[in-house]
Structure 1
Amino acid sequence: MSARHVLVVEDDVKIAALLADYLEADGHRVSRIGDGAQALAFLRQEAVDLILLDLMLPGLDGLEVCRQARSFTDATIIMITARVDEVDRLLGLDSGADDYICKPFSPREVAARVRAHLRRSAAHAATATPLAVDRRGLRIMHGGAVFPLTPVEFRILAELIEHAGRVYSRQQLLDLAHEDQRDINDRTVDSHIKNIRRKLAAVPALGECLQSVYGVGYRFDAPV
């Protein structure tokens, strides 16, 4: 499994660096941001698995960042704060946070908490069935919603999903796409793949699943 991506949103540079050191030692990929608005902008562009989010941030505070982030990401969010009264705890969790850590903290404890949450999210993803292929109905569904695929797009994507991890050459996909072998070429496959990617991108977790393999063709990586 590739390294999990953790975003540390903390305006104290020393604390952020300390957390990053421990998390990177655990094999995680770590990004650091010290501003709430910048964190939201980053999250809209980059996929992350877990967010360590300080409550007291310049500009947008951690609660508001958490509330807004929850509208477009399912990443685990752990709030970090020095404010320890029960009201703040409830506010933090009501905002969409998954966990809460109070300062001062042990970086080893934080790293252990991160590991535990990532294990749980990985186990959940492993048992989930995010995409359902209905060959009889020529439909591919996610959470009850049907992707608006053409018959050709359906044949390509269904094959890739059902053999996730396998690399298909353009010729193999051409054979799947157009069984009658009418006037087709490599550009035709690329055009279909582009359209499929655009439609998958409507679900953030699926946007990067369809991968190009340089000089060969394409592969579907099941979402983790």
Structure 2
Amino acid sequence: MQVKVLIVEDDPDMAEILFDLVEAEGWAPFLAGSAEEAGAFLSRESVHLVLLDHNLPGASGRTFAQRIRSTLDVAIIMVTAAGSSAERVLGLETAADDYIVKPFEPIELAARMKAVLRRSIPSAKPERGPDLASAPSALTLGDWTIDLKRRLASCEGSPGKTLTGAEFALLELLAETPNQPVSRAQILERLGSGTERYLDRNVDVLVLRLRRKIEQNPELPRFIKTRRGRGYMLEAPGRETDP
């Protein structure tokens, strides 16, 4: 299977750089110069990853990322010149799986693309220890059922909610050691994001996004609990809980 990557970038020079980088990895690159052009392409073609510029003619990258996420299960990396921590948090809040700031080192973007693709394409995942991919195909959390193959969270009487690659990676990590706290550093390591570029706040935002999808009341979570000073924990009924 050849990985297909849609590059949404209106600057010709940057588009060429990204095109060459994707092609150098042996993947199939496609170019779109605007959100409108990208939307038309995605309506007729499926891709595995979208490299999305923050500033686009006609629509912001964040707005377009929300449009993509509402209809498609595809990995998204925001590529932008905006470098503040607030912008990085906003990038993840829009359902982007990762965020990289221009100017960037090509080797870093390549590594981030590979990390996101490993999470979103099962066959691209490296072998490692206990993993939900080799566990049952569904995880039950109260009234919620998580389809681990399709990354779909569904509750009786409500429409299914697709988990992003980052959300699924977080749930996967927490489920590997239920009732045991997982630190922010461990979460960042699983996400493939260096702590020098991402803040604890980014992890908190990701946890909040996941809670909104699988908790009836995200403000009073039943399953994804905070352990102050230790990180986050997936509480599994019927199993001993770490105090």
Q: What band does the TM-score fall into relative to the shorter chain? A: 0.5 to 0.7
Q: What is the CA–CA distance in structure 2 between the aligned matches of 1:92 and 1:76, rounded to whole Å? A: 13
Contact 2:117/2:124 (8 A) holds in 1: no
Question: How has the CA–CA distance of structure 1 residues 50 and 14 changed in structure 2, closer, same or farther, with 3 Å as cutoff?
Answer: same
Question: Which residues of 2 match residues 144-163 of structure 1 at below 5 A?
Answer: none
Deviation at 1:94, TM superposition (A): 0.8
Q: Does the 8 Å contact 1:52/1:80 carry over to 2? A: yes
Which residue of structure 2 lines up, in the alignment, with residue 109 of structure 1?
Answer: 108
The CA deviation at 1:109 is: 1.6
Deviation, 1:10, is 0.7
Residue number in structure 1 paired with 2:58: 59
Deviation at 1:120, TM superposition (A): 2.3
Deviation digits for residues 71-91 of structure 1 (CA, Å, limit 9, x no counterpart)? 111111000111111221121
Partner of 1:20 in structure 2? 19
Q: In 2, Cα distance between the equivalents of 1:129 and 1:44? A: 29
Q: For 1:51 and 1:70, how far apart are their aligned partners in 2?
A: 11
Note the alpha carbon deviations across 1:129-178, whole angstroms, 9 max, x for none: 59xxxxxxxxxxx8679xxxxxxxxxxxxxxxxxxxxxxxxxxxxxxxxx
Q: Which moved more, 1:110-119 or 1:98-107?
A: 110-119
Q: TM-score, normalised by structure 2?
A: 0.50
Single out whichever of 98-107 and 115-124 deviates more from structure 2. 115-124
Amino acid across the alignment from 1:115: K
- For the pair shown, the structure with the greater C-alpha radius of gyration is 1
The alignment-based identity, stated in percent, is: 44
- Whole-angstrom distance in 1 between the partners of 2:59 and 2:109: 23
In 2: Cα distance, 1:87 partner to 1:113 partner: 20
Q: Residue 33 of structure 2 aligns with which residue?
A: 34
**Correspondences of 1:169-184 after superposition (within 5 Å):** none
Residue 8 of structure 1 aligns with which residue?
7
* Other-structure match for 2:80: 81
Report the count of equivalent residues.
133
User: Partners of 2:51 and 2:17 in 1: how far apart?
Assistant: 13
Residues 23 and 125 from structure 1, CA distance in 2 versus in 1: closer, same or farther, beyond 3 angstroms?
A: closer
Please identify, of 101-110 and 119-128, the stretch whose mean Cα deviation from structure 2 is larger: 119-128
The separation in 2 between residues aligned to 1:14 and 1:120, in whole angstroms, is: 29
Deviation, 1:21, is 0.9
Give, in whole Å, the separation in 2 of the partners of 1:44 and 1:96.
Answer: 19
With normalisation by structure 1, the TM-score equals 0.54
1:122 CA displacement: 2.2
AA of the residue aligned to 1:86: S
Q: Is the 8 A contact 2:98 2:116 kept in 1?
A: no
SS at match of 1:71: helix
Report the equivalent of 2:93.
94
Unmatched segments (≥5 aa) in structure 2: 126-132, 139-149, 156-243
Letter of the 2:39 partner, please give it.
L
Give the root-mean-square deviation of aligned CA atoms. 2.4
Segments of structure 1 that go 5 or more residues without pairing to the other structure are 131-141, 146-224
Q: Is the 8 A contact 1:37 1:65 kept in 2?
A: no
